[in-house]
Amino acid sequence: MPRTLIFLLLVSGLPVSAMAEAPNRDPMLFYDANGLTVRGHFQLGLNAVSEDNLFWDLAATTAPGSGFDPDTEWLEGYMKPGLSFEYQLGGDTTLYGKLSAVASYTWGTDAFATGDNGETTLEEAYLAIRGAWDNGLSYDFSFGPRELTLGTGMLIANGATSGFERGALKFGPRKAWEVAAIGKLSFGSVTGTAFYLDPNELPSTDGQNALAGVDLRYDAPEGGYVGATYVKVINSNSPYPQAALGGIGAPTVTPGARQDTETFGIYAKSNPFSGALENWAFTSEFAYQWNDRINLEAWGGRVTAGYTFAALPWRPNLTLGYQSFSGDDPNTTKLERFDPLYYQGSPSAWATGSKSASTFINSNVNALTLALRVQPTRQDTWTLRYAHIRANELNSPVQFGQATRVDVNGNVVSGVTDKHLADDLFLEYSRIINRNTFLTAGLSVSFPGKAIDNVIGRSADPWTGGFVNVVFNF
């Protein structure tokens, strides 16, 4: 175990009193007078990661000349300083904005065989105005790099890319869109949002993507919500893979295929229930996708049901979910591969599995998930996650043409020949050390299914790993 892992584990055992909080004042409030408030922001994270038998050592079969090492350890970190302001223009009108940057680095070699590198990039740099009119309608308009998440994060959430030449692969500290024009109008509990977004992509793989769309959402006073999103890709050089007809042969890769893809989605979360459904919670999001220019028709979605055992010690919460995303049917000329756009890919959000999410994007996969969360104290949370992951279409790209290979009969094939991809287990521990300091540790294992065994040609070994990180947030 790396020394940094040991150090961070020791930190996790410190009592809250060992890291005394500052006096009852806000040290990040720089100025507050004459209608102007100026506030500083600072976030710092350090993460130690260890991985063994990465990607079930698929590279040894599908790319034997790559020299990829499936066992590695690395340390990654980031800093995110920022400055924000609010200025009261009079009445209900407020001018506000924020400027921030991210500096990140990876020491050692990460899961994608890159490391000892990093980059400092602009994160947020927006100017905005919000207010209300006498008719009860309120507005919020902004322009410039900033974060935006719609619905439950299935389509529009992660506006930036980390890792590779930028470092901090696991942390993923960048979230803001590189260009964001966002307009919101609200009346009571209903909010309409129009947006234009340009993601902050890696320079090495910049697909020149741009999106535009609208979102309409109702937030119930009790806490639930329901909404709908429409988004269109108005510019893109990003390609799509399509399965070879009959599943025999390498997939066809069409440059710029993403442009003009349209997606319509609906999402909902239940209000708190009373009576027989007390302590239950339900969420759902579904999307239909099409692109007439390339004959694309696809779909994806998820439903979850959670129950909190409120009368039991530690208040256990059990959540069952099922998510599925269409894959390309190799027996048709139509393209049915779902494009997940810019989803929130953490295990607590839209990741398909814990480890498997690093291998399979939300396309041509489905997963039955189970999460058990307990809170022994207000500071400590334990979560155990399980995911049973399967492919929707055989002999079809599961990610982006991965597992393209020559089979025993000499045929070039892609995707998998059995639907069972993997079973992932992830145990996560979170501790609030104080109001500014948070520790998270996790152990995970992915047991390969028959689909992976068939690619390798033998019974594949599990993929295991762990991490410990500390985040300071001011």
Over residues 71-101, the pLDDT tens digits come to 999 999 999 999 999 999 988 899 999 999 9
pLDDT at residue 5 is higher than 90: no
Look at 276 and 433; give whichever has higher pLDDT. 433
- State the pLDDT confidence band at 399, using cuts at 50, 70 and 90: confident
10 Å CB burial of residue 311 (0-12, 13-18, 19+) is exposed
Round the CA-based radius of gyration of the chain to a whole number and report it: 23
Distance CA 67, CA 8 (A): 32
pLDDT tier for residue 3 given thresholds of 50, 70 and 90: very low
For residues 227 and 218, the answer to whether their CB atoms sit within 8 Å is: yes
Of 55-59, 127-131, 210-214, the range with the lowest mean pLDDT is: 55-59
| Pick from 406, 361, 420: nearest CA to 240 | 361
pLDDT tops 70 at residue 263: yes
Confidence at residue 413, expressed as pLDDT on a 0 to 100 scale: 57
Q: Helices H, strands E: what count in the chain?
A: 3, 23
pLDDT given for residue 93 in this prediction: 95
> Do 279 and 315 meet the contact criterion of CB atoms below 8 Å apart?
no
Q: How many angstroms separate the CA atoms of 117 and 231, rounded?
A: 35
The H-or-E segment that residue 289 falls in is strand 280-291
Share of the chain above pLDDT 90, in %: 81
Q: How far apart are CA 237 and CA 254, in angstroms?
A: 10
Check whether 291 has a pLDDT greater than 50: yes
The whole-number average pLDDT for the span 223-239 is 96
Comparing 65 with 116, the larger pLDDT belongs to 116
Mean pLDDT of the chain: 91
pLDDT band at residue 403 using 50, 70 and 90 as cut-offs: low
Buried b (16+ CB within 10 A) or exposed e, 397-420: bbeebbbbbeeeeeeebbbbeebb
Residue 402 pLDDT > 90, yes or no? no
Q: What is the pTM of this model?
A: 0.90
pLDDT in tens, 236-257: 999 999 999 988 888 888 999 9
- Structural domains in the chain, sorted by start: 3-16+25-473 (2.40.160.100)
pLDDT computed for residue 447 by the predictor: 97
**Residue, of 27 and 261, whose pLDDT is higher:** 261
* pLDDT tops 50 at residue 13: no
Residue range 158-193, pLDDT digits in tens? 999 999 999 999 999 999 999 999 999 999 999 999
353-392 pLDDT, tens digit per residue, is: 999 998 899 999 999 999 999 999 999 999 999 999 999 9
* Range 105-111 average pLDDT: 96
pLDDT of residue 63: 75
Provide the pLDDT confidence category of residue 34 given band limits of 50, 70 and 90: very high
